Chains A and B, each alone.
Chain A
Amino acid sequence: MRPVLLVLEHFWTWYRRNWRATVVSTVLLPLMFLGAMGFGLGSRITPGPATDGLPYVVYLAPAMLVAAAVQVATAESSFPVLGSLKWDRRYYAITSTPVTVDQLLMAQALWVALRVLISGLAYIAVAALFGAFTNAGVLLAVPVSVLAGMAFGSWILALAASVNDEGVTFGNVFRFVLVPMTLFAGTYYPISQLPAWSRPLAWITPLWHGNELARAVEFGGMGALAAVGHVVYLVVLTAGGLLVARQRFHARLKV
């Protein structure tokens, strides 16, 4: 475990120097969305069945946390990982020390989770100041968002260790997976509004499960079995992504 902590210390050293540049995309952007959609557009939306009877901004706020978590996890698992393999090659430097490939991957995954956590807490703090939350249950949405982030991010880790381009693949994943997922997986409105045939597509996304859980911890109304089901799905997705990532990391680093 100590080598894992040392890699985290390494990444933290980088973050301490460079965190300012990350604030815009990880904290300000979701808050802008919450402001524009929740307060702006939300002012024209009458609370009703589609918002679970809640003011729109309140309905949106916990899901926005999860959507941002998935985006931060994606960002942190993509270019920084590709860069560590291809541009500055720091993974090769790290695995030339006593640190093993498995320890490096574990540290990288934990680092992504930590970044999601930091951004999530910052978002919660600011959004709470604007009165976007109804109760402290939303704090439980933070671990939910980390889990949802990792359920997607772990697969991006695996992808990042598989590609060797200058980021074209990531661009396609952002355009054709991440953005549609953000728009159609129940962040801004319930997926019951989608055509029936397309709902299964939302069901397979980690974001939908995260949204459901995040709203449930704040607003209640979810059975224990359903909650366990969502959590298990996200855990399995995370574990699967990490297993593939592990295979890819070994293939890439032990040559």
Chain B
Amino acid sequence: MSGVPATVGSVSDDAVLVQADGLVKRFGDFEAVRGVDVKVRRGEAFGFLGPNGAGKSSTMRMIACTSPRTAGELRVLGLDPDRHGPRIRGRLGVVPQQDNLDNELTVRQNLQVYGRYFGLSRHQVRARATELLEFAQLSDRADDQVEPLSGGMKRRLTIARSLVNEPELLLLDEPTTGLDPQARHLLWDKLFRLKQQGVTLIVTTHYMDEAEQLCDRLVVMDGGRIVAEGSPAALIAEHSSREVLELRFPIDQQHHHVPLVEDLAERVEVLPDRLLLYATNGEAVLAAATRRGMRPTSSLVRRATLEDVFLRLTGRTLVD
């Protein structure tokens, strides 16, 4: 067995693309990121979930090597962003929250100009642009100016542009915010294909369905800190019940019914028009509530989702 372990350490280190320990970002007196620890491995799709202002984008900019960290340790692709920013950025793809395309250039020029920044020759960027136009389904708009394109098209172009250097790690800051459902599904489809090709993805989002669709593993951030970590399924198992029973009532009558059902569920949440009962078996709880004489206007048993976890962890829980 001699000689086997020698390289194991370095191989497994190499597989960690992002490692943050106690990462902090301060803007004057405001601490946007307050000690974040994350580790992202090669091939993973990793998510930062959290409400607006949770510190997701600040964390992403530090990983993208465009924002220096205030404190803590950070390694991206095994290198220190403070010392090797340009080298790291050369191997990253970045999709920012707001599109930053060159609106007065053509779709194709946007791809070519950025390809050049990554050391591609003019010949190479032409070939790469054609490939990416295909990928982003923008070939028929290739020589149109960017300005009049739809939001979905611009977003696809931004993503295509971020791939021009065939990045090892793709950073997507709220990739589908503001898009219609068709455009979102098309984008998810594209991202899923990238993931299958082995591109490591880091995504921030406040859409739970997006996180469930894309992420193998995620952290929930709130107020600059990580408040939970795990796979979507594990987070649901840990922070929610398996099922949720939703009981609808005429507006503002729901809270009269809380005492009647409180003991039936692990947790009851009161919304303006309904009660959410968190339980392992929603049907059983519904049957028990009905035996006690409860008559909601409608009822629904569903599986718990990340949204339930999210609301629980980041606030709005009224009854616990």
A residues within 8 Å of B by Cβ?
3, 6, 9-10, 13-14, 17-18, 88-90, 92-100, 253-255
Contact = CB atoms under 8 A, between A and B. Distances in A.
Contact of B117 (A18, A98, A253, A254): A98
Nearest to A253: B66
Interface in B95-114: 96, 98-106, 109, 112-114
Nearest to B87: A98
B181 to A, nearest CB: 26
A88 B66 contact: no
Given A17-B105, A96-B94, A98-B117, 17 more contacts: A9-B116, A10-B113, A13-B113, A14-B104, A17-B109, A88-B103, A88-B104, A93-B96, A93-B100, A93-B114, A95-B66, A96-B64, A96-B66, A96-B89, A97-B89, A97-B117, A254-B67
A97 B118 contact: yes
A89 B118 contact: no
B104 A17 contact: yes
Nearest to B116: A6
Contact of B27 (A17, A90, A96, A255): A255
Contacts of A92: 66, 96, 100
Interface of B: 27, 61, 64, 66-68, 85-87, 89-90, 92, 94, 96, 98-106, 109, 112-114, 116-119, 161
Contacts of B118: 97-98
Contacts of B89: 96-98
B89 to A, nearest CB: 5
A168 to B, nearest CB: 22
Q: Which 8 A-B pairs have the closest CB atoms?
A: A97-B117, A89-B100, A98-B86, A93-B100, A96-B94, A98-B90, A10-B113, A88-B103
Contacts of B98: 89
A10 B89 CA distance: 18
A14 B105 CA distance: 6
A100 B87 CA distance: 11
Contact of A88 (B61, B67, B100, B109): B100
Max chain A Cβ within 10 angstroms of own Cβ: one of B66, B85, B87, B117: B117
A88 B146 CA distance: 11
A97 B85 contact: no
A162 B185 CA distance: 39
A96 B62 CA distance: 11
A79 to B, nearest CB: 13
A89 B94 CA distance: 14
Nearest to A10: B113
16 contacts: A3-B86, A9-B116, A10-B116, A10-B117, A13-B113, A14-B102, A14-B105, A88-B101, A89-B96, A90-B102, A92-B100, A96-B96, A97-B89, A99-B86, A99-B117, A255-B27
Contacts of A88: 100-104
Contacts of B64: 96
A49 to B, nearest CB: 50
Given A6-B117, A13-B109, A92-B66, A255 B100 contact: no
A15 B64 CA distance: 29
A120 B266 CA distance: 78
A6 B118 CA distance: 10
Nearest to A100: B86
Contacts of B61: 255
Contacts of A14: 102, 104-105
A88 B100 CA distance: 5
Contacts of B161: 93
B81 to A, nearest CB: 11
A217 B66 CA distance: 46
Given A89-B98, A254-B68, A3 B117 contact: yes
A145 B27 CA distance: 41
Contact of B90 (A10, A95, A97): A97
B93 to A, nearest CB: 9
A13 B90 contact: no
A92 B103 CA distance: 14
A243 to B, nearest CB: 20
B104 A18 contact: yes
A94 B102 CA distance: 10
Contacts of A98: 86-87, 89-90, 117-119
Contacts of B114: 93, 97
Residue among A6, A97, A100 with the highest chain B CB neighbour number at 10 A: A97
Chain A CB within 10 Å, residue with most, of B68, B87, B104? B104
Of B27, B85, B87, which is in contact with the most chain A CB atoms at under 10 Å from its CB? B85
Contacts of B100: 88-90, 92-93
A99 B98 CA distance: 20
Given A100-B85, A253-B66, A254-B68, A94 B117 contact: yes
Contacts of B86: 3, 98-100
Nearest to B122: A9
B83 to A, nearest CB: 12
